[in-house]
């Protein structure tokens, strides 16, 4: 990790900005290449992530890694992954608006350090927080939004794909489109 990201992670370890800080086992800060051209942002840690301190390491994470690998992305090589909130909400409930708001400055700092050309929002919560509060993920997934010069794409959350495998082919299409965009933007190295 680059020095800035390590420093930010260390500061974040002490965060008690919202009540989720009291119930976490581990902070789930982020993983990947700190100067990646593409960043993936989920909603918040689940049980496995809370235990291990890394985003997307449970069943949904295994599926995410498979989708990423199909289009030659790898969490240890060419992408960065983070969440809207860094601590697990109890019983995996959605993070509350206040919790999201309290945690946003950490994500903003991460985005500033990574400075990605493409941001992929994994699921409704991240898409509504970062792209547009009126996004409907089932209708709008796979669309590309240009926000302040960054290409942003909402995709279905991998946990939704585990609940309904009929959604997989459409999401695979979105990942292919993403890879095409990445290549067209000259980001493949």
- By beta-carbon proximity to ligand URA, the closer residue of 96 and 187 is 96
Q: Residue 115: which of 1, 38, 180, 10 has the closest Cα? A: 38
CA distances from 17 to 20, 24, 87, 100 (A): 8, 13, 11, 11
Which residues in 13-42 contact ligand URA (CB under 6 A)?
A: 28, 42
Interface with ligand URA, residue 56, by CB under 6 A = yes
Binding letters toward ligand URA, positions 81-110, x by CB under 6 A: --x---------------------------
Q: Strand pairing of 38-42 and 80-83?
A: parallel
Contacts (Cβ under 8 Å, ≥6 apart) of 154: 120, 121, 123, 124, 126, 127, 131, 135, 137, 140, 141, 142, 143, 145
Q: Is 49 in the site for ligand URA (CB under 6 A)?
A: yes
Shortest distance, CB of residue 186 to ligand URA, whole angstroms?
A: 29
The correct pick among 30, 32, 34, 55 for binding ligand URA (CB under 6 A) is: 55
Q: By the criterion CB under 6 A, which residues form the site for ligand URA?
A: 28, 42-46, 49, 55-56, 60-61, 83, 122
């Amino acid at each position: 990790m680059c020095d800035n990201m390590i420093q930010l992670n260390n500061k974040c370890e002490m965060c008690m900005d919202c009540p989720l800080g009291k119930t976490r086992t581990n902070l789930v800060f982020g993983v990947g290449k700190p100067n990646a051209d593409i960043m993936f942002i989920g909603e918040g840690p689940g049980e496995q992530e809370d235990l291990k301190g890394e985003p997307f390491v449970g069943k949904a994470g295994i599926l995410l890694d498979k989708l990423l690998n199909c289009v030659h992305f790898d969490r240890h090589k060419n992408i960065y992954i983070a969440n809207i909130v860094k601590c697990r909400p109890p019983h995996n409930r959605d993070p509350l608006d206040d919790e999201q708001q309290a945690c946003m400055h950490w994500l903003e700092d991460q985005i500033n350090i990574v400075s990605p050309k493409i941001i992929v929002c994994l699921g409704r919560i991240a898409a509504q927080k970062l792209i547009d509060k009126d996004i409907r993920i089932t209708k709008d997934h796979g669309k590309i939004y240009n926000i302040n010069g960054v290409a942003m794409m909402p995709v279905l959350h991998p946990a939704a794909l585990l609940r309904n495998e009929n959604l997989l082919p459409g999401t695979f299409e979105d990942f292919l489109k993403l890879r095409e965009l990445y290549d067209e933007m000259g980001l493949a190295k």
